[in-house]
Amino acid sequence: MGLTITEKCIKKSIVAGDWQQRGSRIGLRAHQTLGYDVNAVMTFLALDQLGIDRVKTEVSVQYIDHNMLQADYKNADDHLFLEQMCAKYGVICARPGSGICHQLHLEYFGVPGKTLIGGDSHTPAQGGLGMLGIGVGGFDAALAMAGHPVYLAMPQVVNVHLSGQLPPLVSAKNVILAVLQKIGVKGAVGKVLEYTGPGVATLSVTERSTITNMSTETGATSAIFPSDDTTKAWLAAHDRQADWIALAADDDARYDARLDIALDQLEPLIALPHSPGQVVPVAEVAGIKLDQVMLGSCTNTALPDVLQMAAMFKNQRVASHVDAALYPSTRTVIKAALKAGAFGALVDAGVRIFEPSCGGCNGCGFAPQSHGVSLRTTPRNFAGRSGTADDQVYLSAPEVAVASAITGVITDPRTLAWEPAEYSVPTHFERPANLFIVPEPVTTVTYGPNLLPLPQFGQHAAKLGGEVLLKLPDNVTTDDICPAGALYLPIRSNIPAISKHSFQTIDPTFYQRARDAAGGVLVAGNNYGQGSSREQAAIIPRYLRIAVIIAKGFARLHLANLVNWGVVPLIFADANDYAKIHAGDQLQVALAQFEAEPTVTVTNLTQNTTFTAKTPLGKADRHTVMVGGKLNAIKESEAQTCD
Ligand code: F3S
């Protein structure tokens, strides 16, 4: 039996479990890891607890890209701490402003056929060059850096078969928007989207990376393209020919499902507020007046994107009522775009130029006005993520964004008469000097006042429960639980401070009620915890003594974070029981047999009823949860080894 690309990559990094058993627990050892500033503070605090001298991977890279605002000491302290921790543990550190992690990693580190464990949900971006990228929370990133396996369910592999070629002004973002339109934001949970077919050869590496990056929005474990001659040329253009291998699925590879996308049939698509899964043709919403356009993020400001934007803006102007900005993805892109003469067209058009960073994507630098309508090339548009609570954010490809910035209303770029300028993508990229800090051992690490010790939690009692503090709908995001934005990112590693803002957009009374109740239970719908890798969304409930969350379903990455921090995740055995619970009910969960038996009885003391819930966790993870989280489980197993 032939193998898929996914199986070939997993076979290279598996250290526990059986890759041939879909859904079974497998342990992968990372060849590489990546981390980003806001989450990595806790990753390094966790690394301190794991007792290693230097990281055990082939390459580990720390990026400082998500929050570049230095409005006071907090962020600057965090950046200094990260640089020193990188030196202490042998991690390569990208200087602040060098670039957004996924694009910079693609340029300098991604290797076809290897496995990258990244502390960011869009780690599948490396799938654009045939690397298996899997996003995890900060604690799992620390484990991977320390040489421990990262455990996950062996995914199903879906063949996304691409045929034809994209029409003019319909670029790669529309491919993943089309996938989202077909399968929605939880359509690929537990799956890898593997892109194959003759359409693959028509796409560049950065186009492929846009597609695999945003495959995260389908709930996928990862996404991957073959490594072919296009990949070889990309690596050669960055002086990394030696990293190339040919990688493709075998002719008789077995896929679990197939999805067909005819590239030549695609039209410009757009995701409506407030979900990347609410996708419609641009024509359906054309004419909506815009306040803001953001060009940028890890998906859409590689060099070909920037050159295309410049070509469209040449001799054009941003509409007078629109605020438009560009976040180039890396300093490599800036250097090449300057050399091509492309920045002049953007500057003359009236586009604001920010430094390479996530910035506006996560509410750190380009928030729209109150009720502002913003069109963005970013991967996500969860409510309030821009930094403005009542934002109206649409997502599109760069061509739609530029056309709309010029007209001032949402516009299908194919309806504009414009004379494109010509900028060509170079075959060799000049590397800017001083992108990375080469690690050297240090003895001193500065723990600024914003840095608190890693939270520690104890093991659970045989009965848990309390008041239902929130009854939540489907698709609650990590942004809902632990907000993004310039006010909140600098306090993400300060759990007592950030917890005061948890669920604030859903129920501003939540924090105080949780404190007053000294614990309780959360009840949620499907896909609870979708979105980012931030483990604070799991730590906060635990810190507030909420030890149990009962949902119709959990997002993969958030579920792993709940395990790591000792929160008991339960799923309704009968989804109809969700409707019978009311906020304020008192629940009690019997956990005496939890490690042996995944099914538990929940008593609703207020209604004098019982129902059954089950956990999606295997035995080892159930034990981890009961002892209070991964750190406790590791210490326990190390103590047993010493005995
Ligand atoms: Fe950064 Fe936004 Fe991508 S926060 S990693 S640009 S999704």
pLDDT for 332 equals 98
Do 625 and 450 meet the contact criterion of CB atoms below 8 Å apart?
no
pLDDT digits (tens, 9 = 90+) for 7-20: 999 999 999 999 99
Q: 215 and 111 in one domain? A: yes
Q: 508 and 484 in one domain? A: yes
Residue 637 alpha carbon to ligand 1 centre in Å: 36
Give the number of the atom of ligand 1 that is nearest the alpha carbon of residue 102: 5
Res. 643 pLDDT band, cuts 50 70 90: low
Q: 254 and 316 in one domain? A: no
pLDDT > 90? residue 439: no
Ligand 1 contacts (CB < 6 A) are 66, 100, 102, 120, 122, 297-298, 358, 361-362, 378-380
Residue 642 alpha carbon to ligand 1 centre in Å: 43
Measured distance between the N- and C-terminal CA atoms of the chain, rounded to whole angstroms? 45
Res. 484 pLDDT band, cuts 50 70 90: confident
Res. 217 pLDDT band, cuts 50 70 90: very high
d(CA 257, CA 568) in angstroms, rounded, equals 32
Tell me the sheet residues that pair with 545: none
Residue 609 alpha carbon to ligand 1 centre in Å: 45
Q: 66 and 214 in one domain? A: yes
Residue 298 alpha carbon to ligand 1 centre in Å: 5
Give the number of the atom of ligand 1 that is nearest the alpha carbon of residue 327: 6
Residue 366 alpha carbon to ligand 1 centre in Å: 13
pLDDT for 637 equals 85
Tokens found for residue 299:
């998906």
Give the number of the atom of ligand 1 that is nearest the alpha carbon of residue 379: 7
pLDDT for 189 equals 94
Which among 122, 357, 386, 492 is the best mutation to test ligand 1's pocket, defined by most ligand atoms within 8 Å of the CB?
Answer: 122
- Closest residue by Cα to atom 7, ligand 1, is 379
Which one of 265, 291, 306 terminates a domain?
Answer: 265
d(CA 77, CA 143) in angstroms, rounded, equals 24
pLDDT > 60? residue 480: yes
Give the number of the atom of ligand 1 that is nearest the alpha carbon of residue 122: 5
Between vectors from CA 132 to CA 126 and to CA 138, what angle results, nearest 5°? 80
- Closest residue by Cα to atom 2, ligand 1, is 361
d(CA 446, CA 101) in angstroms, rounded, equals 24
Decide if 433 is inside a domain: no
pLDDT > 70? residue 493: yes
Q: How many domains does the chain have?
A: 3
- Closest residue by Cα to atom 3, ligand 1, is 298
Lowest pLDDT segment from 29-33, 83-87, 450-454: 450-454
φ, ψ at 195 (rounded to 5°): -90, 125
Decide if 397 is inside a domain: yes
Residue type, 571: I
Looking at residue 341, which CATH number applies to its domain?
3.30.499.10
pLDDT digits (tens, 9 = 90+) for 126-152: 999 999 999 999 999 999 999 999 999
Q: 589 and 481 in one domain? A: yes
Decide if 388 is inside a domain: yes
Q: 179 and 45 in one domain? A: yes
Give the number of the atom of ligand 1 that is nearest the alpha carbon of residue 296: 6
Which among 64, 210, 358, 477 is the best mutation to test ligand 1's pocket, defined by most ligand atoms within 8 Å of the CB?
Answer: 358
Res. 444 pLDDT band, cuts 50 70 90: confident
pLDDT digits (tens, 9 = 90+) for 603-630: 999 999 999 999 999 999 999 999 999 9
pLDDT > 80? residue 633: yes
Torsion sign over Cα 478, 479, 481, 482:
positive
What is the pairing mode between strands 463-471 and 586-590?
A: antiparallel
Residue 615 alpha carbon to ligand 1 centre in Å: 31
Res. 638 pLDDT band, cuts 50 70 90: confident
Closest CA to 501 of 532, 550, 543, 530: 543
pLDDT > 90? residue 450: no
How far is CA 103 from its chain centroid? 13
Percent of the chain past pLDDT 90, that is, above it, reads 92
Q: 349 and 258 in one domain? A: no
Residue 30 alpha carbon to ligand 1 centre in Å: 22
Tokens found for residue 485:
């934005």
Residue 635 alpha carbon to ligand 1 centre in Å: 34
> What is the model's pTM?
0.95
pLDDT, the chain, mean = 95
Segment 344-354 shows an average pLDDT of 97
Res. 93 pLDDT band, cuts 50 70 90: very high
Residue 287 alpha carbon to ligand 1 centre in Å: 28
pLDDT for 641 equals 66
Decide if 457 is inside a domain: no
- Closest residue by Cα to atom 1, ligand 1, is 358
Decide if 430 is inside a domain: no
Residue 209 alpha carbon to ligand 1 centre in Å: 13
Q: Name the residue range of residue 342's domain.
A: 278-415
pLDDT digits (tens, 9 = 90+) for 569-586: 999 999 999 999 999 999
Decide if 438 is inside a domain: no
Give the number of the atom of ligand 1 that is nearest the alpha carbon of residue 380: 7
Which one of 230, 265, 300 terminates a domain?
Answer: 265
What is the pairing mode between strands 25-28 and 32-36?
A: unpaired
Residue 448 alpha carbon to ligand 1 centre in Å: 26
Which among 66, 105, 479 is the best mutation to test ligand 1's pocket, defined by most ligand atoms within 8 Å of the CB?
Answer: 66
Res. 336 pLDDT band, cuts 50 70 90: very high
Which among 214, 294, 362, 477 is the best mutation to test ligand 1's pocket, defined by most ligand atoms within 8 Å of the CB?
Answer: 362
Give the number of the atom of ligand 1 that is nearest the alpha carbon of residue 65: 1
pLDDT for 165 equals 98
- Closest residue by Cα to atom 5, ligand 1, is 298
What is the pairing mode between strands 156-163 and 257-262?
A: parallel
Residue 532 alpha carbon to ligand 1 centre in Å: 9
Tokens found for residue 556:
């993969």
Tell me the sheet residues that pair with 296: 327
Decide if 260 is inside a domain: yes
pLDDT for 422 equals 84
Residue 612 alpha carbon to ligand 1 centre in Å: 39
pLDDT for 640 equals 76
Give residues with Cβ within 8 angstroms of 429, minimum separation 6.
107, 237, 238, 303, 332, 335, 336
Query: Secondary structure of the chain: what % helix, strand, coil (to 5)?
Result: 35, 20, 45
Residue 369 has what DSSP assignment?
Answer: P
Q: 478 and 570 in one domain? A: yes
pLDDT for 642 equals 57
pLDDT for 1 equals 85
The angle that helices 536-543 and 556-564 make with each other, rounded to 10 degrees, is 50
pLDDT > 80? residue 552: yes
Tokens found for residue 300:
């859409």
Q: ipTM beyond 0.85? A: yes
Residue 380 alpha carbon to ligand 1 centre in Å: 8
pLDDT for 90 equals 94
pLDDT digits (tens, 9 = 90+) for 255-310: 999 999 999 999 999 999 999 999 999 999 999 999 999 999 999 999 999 999 99
Looking at residue 544, which CATH number applies to its domain?
3.20.19.10
Which among 120, 216, 217 is the best mutation to test ligand 1's pocket, defined by most ligand atoms within 8 Å of the CB?
Answer: 120
Q: 314 and 260 in one domain? A: no
Q: 256 and 302 in one domain? A: no
Decide if 43 is inside a domain: yes
Q: 164 and 26 in one domain? A: yes
pLDDT for 449 equals 83
Burial of 282 (0-12, 13-18, 19+ CB in 10 A): buried
Residue 284 alpha carbon to ligand 1 centre in Å: 27
Percent of the chain past pLDDT 70, that is, above it, reads 99
Which among 34, 63, 98, 100 is the best mutation to test ligand 1's pocket, defined by most ligand atoms within 8 Å of the CB?
Answer: 100
Q: 342 and 194 in one domain? A: no
Segment 397-409 shows an average pLDDT of 98
pLDDT for 451 equals 85
Give the number of the atom of ligand 1 that is nearest the alpha carbon of residue 484: 4
Which one of 265, 290, 310 terminates a domain?
Answer: 265
Segment 326-335 shows an average pLDDT of 97
Residue 231 alpha carbon to ligand 1 centre in Å: 23
